[in-house]
Structure 1
Amino acid sequence: MIFSRKKKRDKADLNSFGKIKEDVFNFDQIERYFRNKKHEDSFQVLSDKTCQDLDFDESFMFLDRTRSKVGQQYLYNKLRNIPSNQDRLDKSERLIRAFSEDVELRNKTSRALSLLDDNDSYYITALFQDEHIQEPKWFFMIRILSFTSLLSLILFPINGKLFFVLLGVFIINLGIHFWNKRNLYLNLKSIPQLIKLSGAARQLNEIACFKGFDATLKVSIKVIDQLKFRMSFFKLGSSSASEFEALFWFVIELVKIVFLLEPLLLFGILRQLDKNRSEIEALFTFVGEIDALLSIASLREGTDKCCIPEISEEKSPLSAEALYHPLIVNAITNCIRVNDKSVLLTGSNMSGKTTFIRTIGINTLTALTINTCFGQSFSLPRMRIFSAIRISDDLLNDKSYYFEEVLTIKKMIEASQCGKMNLFLLDEIFKGTNTVERISAGKAVLSSLTQLNNFVFVSTHDLELADLLQEEYDLYHFSEIVGNKTVDFDYKLKEGKLMNRNAIKILQINGYPESVIQEAYSLALEMDEVLCMNNN
């Protein structure tokens, strides 16, 4: 029977490799490790604002192929944390390659990771990241009461009157026992899962290619195993137990009450866990890293066009061949090479400008975090990522759209002066204000951002802005084909500034009154003449 279940699980793992997970994503739990972790050594921690701009949650649901909740939390943190170097990259790529080629290795790894596929595994991080419950000042009374119960029980055959002492202590212990139940339930999800984490780490460490992955791992496993017996007491009887099992658990509960075993064991274990936070985190990191690498191998297997990026630690061109957005089905690919200048995009709405900017952003992120890109090739320097794409009013704090945009872009200007390489992604800069000031302020800001070691990708409808920045920015555009009754987009990036304007034509196609169309054309012609006169 056990062998049969193992075969079924291996078959399920084999069939799921390379496929998108069909799972419920609880981001409140997935983010726990990331939110509480310190990232002092990181090159950059991706901000919530940039995550929102790049549709990070949706991207994570596509990228995540982990087998355990520990691995899922670890991968989430990995994707939001751009490292400062490429340490261990060669070792990681060897393991990814091994997962891709060795079915038996995948099955063994998946079996170990399956120990941690329960939602309670999300709470393991609390054991090394959160503050533990502290003993109350009167905790010494628990030890006295426990000792009194033991002594009364031993001496009861000699002196029957000690029964009343035992009864009185039992009543007091009963109150303390149920007072402690709240403390117990707070740790009932995390502590039992720690046993599973230790078991998974031990199984993985026995696999040849993982030995030596962490030199201190055996010590960490041994430390946790020493607490295993005491941790096993934290278990509730099954609600569907038989009458015999129910009687057994009732007797066990009485013993716990008489000797106050639960508070004594709980606070004792918490003291030990508090001393061994680093060992618990070492197990978590080991299991999480292996699961994340298996996930990356599965992602690459299930993606038709993906590549390993070339990452430079110095200023170098950003070059992409057949790059595409991973969330778009049958996505159109584009190529670009950026060296000394940045990129300014023009084009009508829905033509592909914002999607292309997001494509650059998400591929830069996956390149620098999981060494994987979606396209034929992608080379880039190590950069921080900042964005101003999806901005909205903050009504609760009485901030307008324009003010929110001002604050976001101010942070970009500050970041651009720090000497590190940056990637700035902007969609329709300062679109919350009037035309003259939008163009004037936009030109000044974009000239400032492109200085030093920065790449800027910005879209605009203002063709005047393209004229002002043509010495500092390479101009590209997206365009549409407007027929008598249709508007078609090819989503292909083209060099140069957009020359044709089809906005009024699209109004005409959609049945606007002829009087509106004629007046719009007439005004557009007059405004073009004014602009030409001003330019001359």
Structure 2
Amino acid sequence: MEVVIAIAVVLLFLVIKGVYDSRQTKKIIMMQIKDAWGQYPEAELTPERIDAIRTYYNATMRPGQDVDDITWNDANMDEIFEMINNTCCSIGEEYLYAVLRKLEYKNEVLEEREKLIAYFQEHTKERESVQYALRQMGKLRTMSFYKELRHIKENIERKKVHGIYCGRMAASIILLALAVLQSWPIVPFIVITIVCLADNVIKYYKRKADIENSFFILTHILKLLYGADLLLELDCEAINPYRSQLEQMVNQYSSFRKKAKFITGGNNMSGDLLDIIMDYVRMIFHMDLIMFDSMIKDLESNTDELLGIYEIIGKLDAFIAIASFRTFLKGEYCIPKLYQQAKPKLDVENMYHPFIEEPVKNSIHSNSCLLVTGSNASGKSTFIKTAAVNAILAQTIHTCTCQKYSASFFQVYSSMALTDNLLGKESYYIVEIKSLKRILDSANDRVPTLCFVDEVLRGTNTLERIAASSRILEYLARLNVLCFAATHDIELTYILEKHFQNYHFQEEVKEDQVVFDYQLRPGRATSRNAIKLLKMMNYPMEVVEKAGNEVNHFLNTGSWNNI
């Protein structure tokens, strides 16, 4: 009787401790959710993690419609993604990345997103409850959940021997028990049991090592289903449009989850003493490995349902992160107004780049191409990159970092931060003309193209650069294209003045310092600072003075002196 009471007391203590630990864990998670809201995400994404995150996008990309790799890299969109990525789970960040890559061309899609984003901005309690459910799924460090989900059944060699190993182990234990009860010689049966136990453990870990990633993904799927259960329990308007569909898809996995109890503790993701004990039972009897193949079969027959759950979870998590990004901007953003029209138009006021602290804001109102000139470091590249980022954000997350954004729906392309293709044995010039050619090929009469070109054809000599670049830009201007081109070649401002509006940035020299105000102005640039910068960097005065004399000589005569 005393033993029974002692066991009951221990079990009661474990139950109370489990409940207490669960509540404390929830408090910690909710505190983390509150602290992270509207903040720059702390997790820095490695190139390996980015490669994993982009897997979902790679599988669902729409060539010719999305932000291509060149434009994505030119606009530093990996860093923009990192700034927005206040997601709670791997599915959310994979989905968010895809959202940022996929330009939308219909207001209906963006308005649906806006409803969810605005809801999460305005309903703190409901949003935090959704985030808590999403947090149960966690984030993977170097794996793509989508990739593993799609390929888990392809990478598995099924084995049916684990049932034999389980039966052998059970038989050895039964025989040992009989030996004790029947007073048989016990040593042989102990040896048999130990040999079976050792062999089972060795084979267990060998097999687990072979399917480690797949096993891990099965556990993550269980977390996904558990998170979906928590979402379905919420009284939240954001869930309602997906509730019926989500519930039906989750119900398809009832058999899968029952089998999973042999692998984990089922829906209990916190881990407790019972789970620890069960880990040893699984290791000895291979119970989880026996169920593994059966669960893979369940996945094969219900893959579409799981992908449907993935889409809903990803959408909720991604749009919460966008709502958090808007809070991070502290009201310095606008909802874009976008129009489906044949001809390009762009009307932007007080636009800034989200990376820059205390940025200088610029406005642009145009339905024709722009040529931006100015001295080194005056702000040309930053301005066109800022315009590119806002064009992408407008048609993806329906959020722009400016006071007003009104524009056509655009295809968005750029040719800015190019490099030599050493592996492909291509020079900078070849890479550049290929990049520009893809913009020419993209132009059509259905959707206007918005393109950004920084220092067109910088990879070749001055004479041919000006001749070729002027004709390429003039050709673009005659297409259904709105082009932002930045250049040091003042000659282009005269050659193209019938096709491009001229804008410029300027600077002021104060006490041997070049001061920039980064303010966009109409007209072509009239100042130069390259030689002034040589002086400021303490180059020999002989070099500085002779360089200045050469400039004056060329401006007066149109020719260069021989050295």
Q: 1:406 to 1:149 in 2, by over 3 A?
A: same
From 469, 473, 476, the counterpart of 1:442: 469
Indicate the percent of aligned positions where both proteins have the same amino acid. 26
Preserved CA contact (<8 Å) 1:306 1:373: yes
Residue 246 of structure 2 corresponds to residue 217 of structure 1: yes
Q: Helix, strand or coil for the counterpart of 2:423?
A: helix
CA distance in 2, matches of 1:32, 1:275: 25
* Structure 2: runs of 5 or more not aligned: 1-19, 179-183, 266-270
> Which letter does structure 1 place at the counterpart of 2:40?
I
Post-superposition shift, 1:140? 5.8
Measure, in 2, the Cα distance between the counterparts of 1:349 and 1:406: 23
Closer, same or farther: CA 90–47 of 1 in aligned 2, 3 Å = closer
The number of aligned residues is 522
Cross-structure match for 2:329 = 303
Counterpart of 1:292 in structure 2 is 318
Contact 1:116 1:197 in 2 (8 A): yes
Distance 1:151 1:426, change over 3 A: same
Cα distance in structure 2, aligned partners of 1:243 and 1:371? 48
Change (3 A) 1:150 1:505: closer
Q: Tell me, yes or no, if structure 1 residue 336 matches structure 2 residue 356.
A: no
**CA positional deviation for 1:242:** 11
RMSD: 3.5
1:266 and 2:286 are equivalent in the alignment = no
1:317 to 323, 334, 345: 345
In structure 1, the residue matched to 2:55 is: 35
Which has the larger displacement, 127-136 or 324-333?
Answer: 127-136
CA change 1:514–1:445 in 2 (3 A) is: same
C-alpha separation in 2, matches of 1:77 and 1:245: 37
Deviation of the 1:144 alpha carbon = 7.1
The change in CA–CA distance for 1:212 and 1:429 in structure 2 (over 3 A counts) is same
Report what 1:387 is aligned to: 414
The C-alpha deviation readout for 1:158-193, integer Å capped at 9, x for no partner, is xx9xx9999999898777645422343122321111
CA deviation map 1:285-308 (0-9, x unaligned) = 111111111111111112131001
Partner residue in 1 for 2:4: none
Task: Give yes or no for contact 2:169–2:285 (8 Å, CA) kept in 1.
Answer: no
- Which of the numbers 136, 139, 142 marks the counterpart of 1:115? 136
Match of 2:87 in 1: 66
Matched-pair contact (CA < 8 Å) for 1:477–1:495? yes
Q: CA deviation at 1:320?
A: 0.6
2:153 partner SS = coil
Indicate which of 41, 44, 52 corresponds to 1:24: 44
Report if aligned partners of 2:53, 2:144 keep a CA contact under 8 Å in 1: no
User: Secondary structure of the equivalent of 1:212?
Assistant: helix
Residues 30, 122 of structure 1: 8 Å contact kept: no
Q: Answer yes or no: is the 8 Å Cα contact 1:180–1:262 preserved in 2.
A: no
Paired amino acid for 2:252? V
Distance apart, 1:61 and its partner CA: 1.8
Of 91, 110, 121, which aligns to 1:100?
A: 121
Letter in 2 for 1:295: A
Alpha carbons of structure 1 residues 509 and 124: separation in structure 2 relative to 1, 3 Å? closer
* Distance in structure 2 (CA, Å) of the matches to 1:525 and 1:268: 83
Query: Quick check: 72-81 or 473-482, which moved more?
Result: 72-81
The answer on whether the counterparts of 2:421 and 2:431 sit within 8 Å (CA) in structure 1 is yes
Q: Which residue type is aligned with residue 230 of structure 2?
A: Q
Residues 4 and 248 from structure 1, CA distance in 2 versus in 1: closer, same or farther, beyond 3 angstroms?
closer
Q: Structure 1 residues 146-155 or 175-184, which shifts more?
A: 146-155
**1:230 corresponds to 2:265:** no
Letter aligned with residue 433 of structure 2: V
The alpha-carbon deviation at position 245 of structure 1 amounts to 8.1
1:431 aligns to 2:431 (yes or no): no
State the one-letter code of the partner of 2:427.
S
Judged with a 3 Å threshold, the aligned counterparts in structure 2 of structure 1 residues 103 and 56 are, in CA distance, closer, same or farther, namely same
Question: CA separation of 1:175/1:103 partners in 2, compared to 1, >3 Å: closer, same or farther?
Answer: closer
1:255 corresponds in structure 2 to 285
- Correspondent of 1:469 among 496, 508, 522: 496
Deviation of 1:43 (Å): 6.2
Structure 1 pair 195/262, CA: closer, same or farther in 2 (3 Å)? closer
The CA deviation at 1:474 is: 0.7
Question: Aligned equivalents of 2:82 and 2:52: distance in 1?
Answer: 16
Q: 1:214 to 1:422 in 2, by over 3 A?
A: farther
d(CA) in 2 for partners of 1:345, 1:492? 12
Do the aligned residues in 2 keep the contact of 1:124 with 1:191 (CA within 8 Å)?
no
2:70 partner letter? K
Structure-2 separation of matches of 1:183 and 1:58? 36
Question: Which one of 68, 78, 85 corresponds to residue 47 of structure 1?
Answer: 68
Q: Deviations over 1:328-364 (max 9, x none)?
A: 111100000111x211110111000000011001111
Q: Give, in whole Å, the separation in 2 of the partners of 1:511 and 1:141.
A: 78
Deviation at 1:250, TM superposition (A): 3.5
**Aligned-partner Cα distance in 2 for 1:245–1:263:** 16
In structure 2, C-alpha distance between the alignment counterparts of 1:470 and 1:334, rounded to whole Å = 22
Q: What is the TM-score of this pair, normalised by structure 2?
A: 0.83
> C-alpha displacement at 1:36, in angstroms?
4.4
Q: CA offset at residue 321 of structure 1?
A: 0.2
Matched, 1:358 2:379: no
